Amino acid sequence: MTYKGRYRVKNPHKYKGDPTKIIFRSLWERQVFRFCDNTRDILKWSSEEIVIPYRCKTDNRIHRYFPDVYIETPKGTFLIEIKPDKETKPPKEPQRKTKRYINEVMTYVKNTSKWEMAESYCADRGWKFEIWTEKTLKKMGIKLLT
């Protein structure tokens, strides 16, 4: 089940962008938004405000990637993608190639195309690109809602 909704900012001075148009696309994203909004060490943050053009390896066409979260801290600037851990690894090849497996492969290839360009984009600016999974969020003390 997918959860989607509007996030209401408690500290609008910290949000870089339009704080009235923040959409979360999962409960994990909503929890990260709360974390960003309420953590002192996060000076500025935004969600899907940065656009990174990338060439997808599945169709060799240019697309636009909107990373989930942008964060400025005293230790640096980060672009964050929030994904389940299983989506950060190539799918295991089954004995027969099902439609589901092919879709998982295509999604993984598309995601890696985005992430490679995000790495380059961040490197050019002295930022860091990170993928936060449920494991990362738990280590940070962010309560996961399911």
Which listed residue (14, 29, 48, 114) is catalytic?
A: 29
Beta-carbon count within 10 A of 96 CB: 6
Average pLDDT over residues 99-120: 96
CATH code for the domain in which residue 105 is found: 3.40.1350
Catalytic annotation present for 59: no
Closest CA to 76 of 44, 108, 114, 112: 44
Residue 87 lies in a domain: yes
- pTM, full prediction: 0.90
pLDDT at residue 146 is higher than 80: no
User: Which SS3 state, helix, strand or coil, does residue 5 take?
Assistant: strand
Average pLDDT over residues 79-98: 91
Residue 146 lies in a domain: no
Residue 145 lies in a domain: no
Average pLDDT over residues 96-124: 95
pLDDT of the residue at 94: 81
User: What number of CA atoms fall less than 13 Å from residue 8's CA on the CB side?
Assistant: 0
Q: How many domains does the chain have?
A: 1
Catalytic annotation present for 83: yes
Q: Which are the contacts of 92, defined by CB distance < 8 A and separation ≥ 6? A: none
Q: How far apart, in whole angstroms, are the C-alpha atoms of residue 134 and residue 140?
A: 10
pLDDT of the residue at 95: 80
Which listed residue (48, 68, 72, 81) is catalytic?
A: 68
Structural domain of 97: 5-139
Question: Mind listing the pLDDT tens digit for each residue in 27-40?
Answer: 999 999 999 999 99
Which listed residue (16, 44, 49, 83) is catalytic?
A: 83
pLDDT band at residue 92 under the 50/70/90 scheme: confident
Catalytic annotation present for 68: yes
The sign of the CA dihedral 108, 71, 39, 26 is negative
Residue 83 lies in a domain: yes
- Mean pLDDT (the chain) is 94
Question: Mind listing the pLDDT tens digit for each residue in 115-138?
Answer: 999 999 999 999 999 999 999 999
